[in-house]
Amino acid sequence: MNSSLLMVLPELVLTAGALILMLAAAWGGQGSTRSISWTSVAVLLGAAIALCGPASSGGDAFDGLYRADAFAAFAKVLIYIAAAVAIVIAPRFFQQSSGDDLRPEYPVLILLSAIGMGMMVSAGDLLTLYVGLELQSLAAYVLASFMRRDTRSAEAGLKYFVLGALASGILLYGISLVYGFSGTTLFSLISDAYEAGHSIGLTFGLVFVFAGLAFKISAVPFHMWTPDVYEGAPTPVTTFFASAPKVAAMALAVRVAVEAMGPATDQWRQIVIFASLASIIFGAVAAIGQSNIKRLLAYSSINNVGFALVGLAAGTAEGVSSVLVYLTIYVAMTLGSFLVVLQMRGEDGQPVESIASLSGMSKTRPALALALGLFMFSLAGIPPLFGFYAKFAVFQAAVGAGLFPLAVVGIAASVIGAYYYLRVVKTMYFDDPAPAFAPAGSRVEGGLIFLTAAFISPLGYLAIPCLGAWSMAAAKALF
């Protein structure tokens, strides 16, 4: 038992931190928000440090219910980074947008969500998977509707809750089918059941499980909640939704596909290929007509999930490694893009979200325009920016697995996506200037924009040897 507790040390650190900070919030009230926010970042750092021990290499804990391996550790590092950024950028946004300071419950909810995401990526059992997923989701529903006096935020939370409950029902039905026909909820024993022979019940269970997971990663055709929730939720929350939960859900889908349903690769590969191509094409086409920058980035996230699924469709260690590389670069591009959106404020200090308001920003805010231009070009996969390498990695894995037609269609469809990214750049650099945005006023946000822009620039290629070795070691932990 002691060894098992060491393996779950990151979750224990987060749990203790969240409970203590919740009590501190109740005792200290509104005035304690700033200290609780920075303490929450320190708790996330402590959880990341806890990954250095058995939590990243200990193997199975609690009789296989929990997996402490390099794959989970890789995903948790990305989750903790994204969660910390979401906490740091929140105070200024809420102070200027809602007329009052941020309430101390916000960072606590982020920590609780991080606990659930850690359980998701380390799940070795279908019930652990579900408990982690629901813990993450329950915190996310509250975060989406955090601005109580904003009708868009309340609507976003309600939509997310209703559709999330539907997806949870689909996932639970799939879990019940898998359990009914395999007699177990452990991934390793489910894999043995799939290997033992064909069962129509197990196949149906596979389909429903992947349908439930597709909602969590917002893959087509279970994407319908994404644009509305991204637009309505407060921008720091949208930044969080587009990064950390996306990593957790994608890592969970990879683990379920490889560990629990590895012998049924030929069956789930068809589902993944369909979801991949549908997400790439639909995300690109639907984004073209958007006038709101947050909705455009929502469809961009759907499009990017499709590219990540190309790596999963390969079903190999190289494919899983490419997914992890893609997620790493995607998190940097997404955090950078939303950090720029946070800078979009009118002279009255209120958020401005229309793409038209970016007109002529190259003249009024040249540094900010350059940063957003880099993020857009990188999301489009245009060399020499690091986003190109992300797409190259997943397509190379697909070709290596013999999925040449999938790679060809994916590359062709990526041209569609380039159109709406380049439209943003054209608006900034070639349209007549719109009223200038208010001064930035935040060195923290400016520093984070600089760091993410530097990472997705050609300088990012210097990280390929380290990133490639780490992602491959994490991928091999599943095989």
Each domain of the chain, given as residue ranges in start order, spans 2-476
Residues 458, 369: Cα–Cα separation, whole Å: 18
The CA-atom distances, in angstroms, between 59 and each of 6, 124, 209, 277, 454 are 11, 10, 24, 35, 35
Q: Which two structure tokens, joined as six digits, stand for 305?
A: 């999930």
- Candidates 296, 299, 419; CA nearest to 356 is 296
pTM value is: 0.93
Instruction: Name 383's Cβ contacts closer than 8 Å, sequence gap at least 6.
Output: none
What residues are paired with 59 via a beta bridge?
A: 68
Q: What does the pLDDT read at residue 375?
A: 93
Residues 48, 327: Cα–Cα separation, whole Å: 18
Alpha helices in 69-104 (DSSP H): 70-88, 90-97
Amino acid at 187: F
Please, are residues 355 and 424 in contact by the beta-carbon 8 Å criterion? yes
DSSP classification of residue 258? I
Q: What is the CA radius of gyration of the chain?
A: 21
- Peptide bond preceding 221: is omega within 30 degrees of 0, i.e. cis? yes
What phi and psi, each to the nearest 5 degrees, are found at residue 221? -95, 25
Q: What does the pLDDT read at residue 442?
A: 75
Please, are residues 260 and 301 in contact by the beta-carbon 8 Å criterion? no
Q: What does the pLDDT read at residue 249?
A: 93
Q: Which two structure tokens, joined as six digits, stand for 95?
A: 């102070």
Q: Give residue for tokens 């809420």.
A: 94
Alpha helices in 8-66 (DSSP H): 9-28, 33-50
Q: Which residues of 287-320 are buried (b: 16+ CB within 10 A; e: fewer)?
A: beebeebbbbbbbbbbbbbbbbbbbbbbbbbbbb
Please, are residues 312 and 467 in contact by the beta-carbon 8 Å criterion? no
Q: What does the pLDDT read at residue 101?
A: 56
Q: What does the pLDDT read at residue 99?
A: 53
Mapped onto helix, strand or coil, the DSSP state of residue 313 is helix
Mapped onto helix, strand or coil, the DSSP state of residue 66 is strand
Q: Which two structure tokens, joined as six digits, stand for 131?
A: 């408990």
Query: The dihedral of CA 457, 416, 390, 323: what is its sign?
Result: positive
- Candidates 14, 147, 161; CA nearest to 76 is 14
Q: Give residue for tokens 């380039």.
A: 418
Residue 177, CB-side half-sphere exposure with 13 Å CA sphere: 19
Rounded (5°) CA angle 138-352-140: 5
Residues 218, 225: Cα–Cα separation, whole Å: 8
Instruction: Name 6's Cβ contacts closer than 8 Å, sequence gap at least 6.
Output: 53, 54, 55, 58
Alpha helices in 288-430 (DSSP H): 293-314, 317-342, 361-364, 366-379, 386-400, 404-430
Q: Which residues of 265-281 are buried (b: 16+ CB within 10 A; e: fewer)?
A: bebbbebbbebbbbbbb
Residues 205, 84: Cα–Cα separation, whole Å: 36
Mapped onto helix, strand or coil, the DSSP state of residue 125 is strand
Give pLDDT tens digits along the chain (479 positions).
468 888 999 999 999 999 999 999 888 877 788 889 999 999 999 999 999 888 888 788 888 899 888 999 999 999 999 999 999 998 888 876 655 557 888 999 999 999 999 999 999 899 999 999 999 999 999 998 888 777 888 888 888 999 889 999 999 999 999 999 888 889 989 988 888 876 788 888 888 988 999 988 889 888 888 888 998 888 899 999 999 999 999 999 999 999 888 888 888 898 899 999 999 999 888 888 888 899 999 999 999 999 999 999 998 899 999 999 999 999 999 999 999 988 888 777 677 888 888 888 888 888 888 999 999 999 988 889 998 999 999 999 999 988 889 899 888 888 888 888 888 889 888 888 777 777 776 788 889 999 999 999 999 899 999 999 999 999 998 88
Amino acid at 154: A
Q: Judging by beta carbons within 10 Å of its beta carbon (0-12, 13-18, 19+), is residue 30 exposed, middle or buried?
A: exposed
Residues 260, 238: Cα–Cα separation, whole Å: 31
Please, are residues 285 and 416 in contact by the beta-carbon 8 Å criterion? yes
Condensed to tens digits (0 to 9), the pLDDT of residues 293-331 reads 999 999 999 999 999 999 999 988 999 999 999 999 999
